[in-house]
């Protein structure tokens, strides 16, 4: 198997390669999902590829954000530049970008943001010119073995580093609540914040880091191509140690050197470790704290500002930190071989002690040395070129499409709806009711579906590329989780929902060049996260500002919804001028009275009842990104 290490900077590149990895991945000045990493300039990228190849190491470069129409020309030219400098592959998320770079002869890897988690998804990758799929991090080992067995493309699996709480590519929490889009590389990490539940406060969305060394043998036997280490925003020491530890294990090495390397790896960055979903769909949450604390050494009784360390794993010159619950009391360097003497005032009591520094790390810094000279610059990116043919879109009254999850709400909205997106139990009854009323019935598929389970012949609403292939032959609708952000997005679906991260101007500009049917969400609580965490109960999460986020469970996992409803009733006339074909209204898990009022208001284009609707919704509305954007 290949060991694929992170290179977030020139120093990190050298560190990963000296650690022994087979390949690295890095990002340039734009279009990468780690916008706040140091990253590389175009000149440095050319030098980095040469440097890595000189050491026999491959280079994969991230182009894995969603792309605006105004950026597509530059993104396509950038991929051509990466091919020209000899990069081995590009990592992409945006299906419109994939469409636009098919002519460029460079290996294309599907980002984990695409949500590839089924055998059908792997086949879809093969059908669409993708040579490797970076699998969704929610898969268990059993599921990986099942889908990789006959995969027509290479597969890559995360084995080390941060684990998103939400299924990647579908997280809108940072974007909708904080204005920083994870799909655009600017995640503000709301999952690392403290939340309130009836049982108390905690970091209920904060996953521990994955540590997957114990799964390597099964992943190799399954036929996985590459093991990926997350961490482009971490230190060069982390890049070196993670690269070395997994490379040693991959070669079958054991013993003190590997154990020492792993110990240092857990010292240099540690927010708690887990096996991810490899062992099954157990919770990965480490709710006590969300930050890097180093390696936990134990709880120690401090008396008169000191505690004994003889015969413990705490050593002379180690850097340690003391914590009381989730509060850091302070840190210091151990200056005695038998006692840790606290150099600041501290009350007697028991403290959790973490090692944050080991003197051996200085040796590693010396080994890594200075950043290599990555001078390049002989090859320049071409001028942005991307031709799009203008489309004449009809200005007409848009359809009303309503998401519902119960028969009572379905009956209430049928008089005003053109189609029903059904996301509840009793599919046959719901389909029959729609048929009798002359309305289209569309079944909303599960967000996570490693194996095809729906065998009906009705139209379906899909959320990932694998479902496109699995349900080919039917009429297929795409949800906003598909992240349609530009007019190069494939028009092979019957209808696709526009990304909820688009502004009014971006919607207008995109539809001028998009030939397919498009829907705009105009009402409802946006789904901020979907998680496989089985321990997040149906509840209400309250953040530190007092906003409440409903949580609902279904058969596949839990959904966290926005604290207020998006309401764009007053924007319907301009959306229809832009050529929007359908208005999406999400009334899942809502009372009948509200559902009827909302459907009636949109169906009649009547804002006269909007204040009553606002009252029923808790007194507040939002306009999402329609006016602000990302």
pLDDT of residue 456: 79
CA 351/CA 307 separation, integer angstroms: 10
Say if residues 270 and 248 touch (Cβ distance below 8 Å): no
Q: Position of tokens 């349900």?
A: 471
pLDDT bin (cut points 50, 70, 90) of residue 226 is very high
556-569 residue pLDDT tens:
899 999 999 999 99
517-570 residue pLDDT tens:
999 999 999 999 999 999 999 999 999 999 999 999 988 899 999 999 999 999
Cα separation of the two ends of the chain: 38
Q: The CATH number of 2-163+207-274 is which of 3.30.70.1710, 3.20.20.70, 3.40.605.10, 3.40.50.1470? A: 3.20.20.70
For the residues 312-334, what does the mean pLDDT come to? 94
Say if residues 153 and 134 touch (Cβ distance below 8 Å): no
Q: Is the pLDDT score of 395 beyond 90?
A: no
Give the full edge-to-edge strand order of the sheet including 349-357.
295-302, 349-357, 319-324, 327-333
Q: Are strands 582-586 and 517-524 parallel, antiparallel or unpaired?
A: parallel
Give the list of residues 6+ apart from residue 259 with CB closer than 8 angstroms, or none: none
Q: Are strands 107-110 and 306-308 parallel, antiparallel or unpaired?
A: unpaired
pTM metric for this prediction? 0.95
For the residues 575-591, what does the mean pLDDT come to? 97
Say if residues 520 and 495 touch (Cβ distance below 8 Å): no
Do domains 2-163+207-274 and 399-526+562-622 share one topology? The answer is yes
Q: CA Rg, the chain, in Å?
A: 26
Percentage above 70 pLDDT, the chain: 98
pLDDT of residue 33: 67
Q: Where are the domains of the chain?
A: 2-163+207-274, 295-360, 399-526+562-622
Helices 360-368, 10-19: axis angle to 10 degrees equals 110
Superfamily the domain 399-526+562-622 falls into: Aldolase class I (3.20.20.70)
pLDDT of residue 251: 97
Q: Is the pLDDT score of 122 beyond 80?
A: yes
CA 614/CA 607 separation, integer angstroms: 11
- Separation in Å, CA 301 to CA 267, 324, 495: 22, 12, 64
Residue 100 DSSP symbol: H
pLDDT of residue 454: 67
């Amino acid at each position: 198997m290949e060991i694929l290490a992170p290179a977030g900077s020139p120093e990190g590149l050298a560190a990963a390669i000296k650690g022994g990895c087979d390949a690295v991945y890095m990002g340039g000045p734009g279009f990468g999902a780690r916008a706040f990493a140091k990253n590389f300039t175009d000149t440095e990228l050319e030098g980095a590829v040469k440097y890595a190849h000189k050491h026999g190491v491959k280079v994969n470069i991230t182009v894995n954000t969603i792309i605006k129409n105004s950026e597509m020309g530059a993104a396509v030219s950038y991929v051509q530049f990466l091919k020209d400098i000899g990069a081995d592959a590009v990592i992409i998320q945006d299906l419109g970008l994939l469409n636009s770079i098919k002519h460029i002869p460079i290996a294309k890897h599907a980002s984990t943001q695409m949500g590839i988690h089924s055998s059908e998804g792997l086949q879809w990758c093969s059908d669409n010119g993708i040579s490797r799929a970076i699998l969704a991090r929610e898969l268990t080992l059993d599921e990986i073995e099942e889908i990789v067995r006959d995969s027509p493309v290479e597969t890559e699996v995360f084995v080390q580093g941060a684990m998103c709480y939400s299924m990647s590519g579908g997280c809108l929490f940072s974007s909708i609540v904080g204005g920083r889009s994870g799909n655009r590389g600017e995640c503000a990490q709301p999952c690392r914040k403290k939340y309130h539940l009836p049982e108390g406060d905690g970091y209920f969305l904060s996953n521990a880091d994955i540590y997957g060394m114990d799964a390597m043998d099964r992943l190799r036997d399954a036929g996985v191509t590459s093991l990926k280490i997350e961490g482009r925003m971490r230190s060069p020491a982390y890049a070196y140690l993670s690269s070395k530890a997994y490379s040693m294990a991959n070669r079958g090495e054991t013993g003190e050197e590997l154990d020492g390397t792993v110990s240092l790896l857990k010292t240099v960055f540690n927010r708690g470790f887990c096996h991810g979903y490899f062992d099954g769909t157990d919770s990965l949450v480490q709710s006590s704290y969300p930050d890097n604390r180093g390696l936990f050494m134990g709880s120690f009784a401090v008396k008169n500002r000191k505690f004994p360390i003889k015969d413990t794993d705490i050593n002379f010159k180690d850097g340690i930190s003391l914590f009381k619950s989730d509060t850091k009391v302070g840190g210091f360097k151990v200056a005695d071989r038998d006692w840790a003497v606290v150099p600041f005032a501290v009350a007697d009591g028991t403290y959790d002690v973490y090692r944050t520094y080991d003197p051996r790390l200085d040796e590693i810094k010396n080994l890594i040395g200075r950043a290599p000279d990555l001078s390049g610059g002989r090859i320049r990116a071409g001028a942005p070129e991307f031709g799009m043919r203008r489309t004449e879109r009809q200005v007409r009254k848009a359809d009303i499409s309503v998401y519902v999850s119960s028969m009572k709400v379905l009956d209430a909205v049928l008089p005003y709806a053109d189609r029903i997106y059904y996301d509840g139990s009793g599919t046959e009854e719901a389909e029959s009711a729609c048929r009798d009323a002359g309305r289209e019935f569309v079944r909303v598929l599960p967000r996570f579906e490693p194996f095809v389970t729906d065998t009906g012949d009705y139209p379906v609403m899909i959320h990932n590329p694998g479902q496109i292939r699995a349900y080919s032959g039917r009429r297929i609708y795409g949800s906003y989780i598909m992240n349609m952000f530009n007019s190069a997005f494939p028009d092979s679906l019957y209808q696709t929902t526009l990304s909820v991260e688009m502004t009014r101007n971006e919607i207008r500009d995109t539809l001028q060049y998009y030939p397919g049917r498009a829907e705009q969400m105009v009402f409802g609580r946006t789904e901020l996260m979907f998680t496989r965490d089985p321990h997040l109960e149906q509840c209400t999460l309250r953040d530190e500002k007092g906003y409440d986020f409903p949580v609902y469970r279904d058969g596949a996992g839990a959904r966290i919804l926005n604290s207020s409803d998006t309401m764009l009733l007053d924007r319907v006339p301009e959306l229809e001028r832009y050529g929007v074909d359908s208005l999406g209204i999400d009334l899942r898990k809502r009372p009948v009275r509200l559902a009827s009022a909302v459907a009636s208001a949109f169906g009649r284009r009547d804002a006269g009842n909007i204040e009553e609707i606002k009252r029923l919704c808790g007194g507040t509305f939002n306009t999402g990104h329609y006016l602000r954007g990302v």
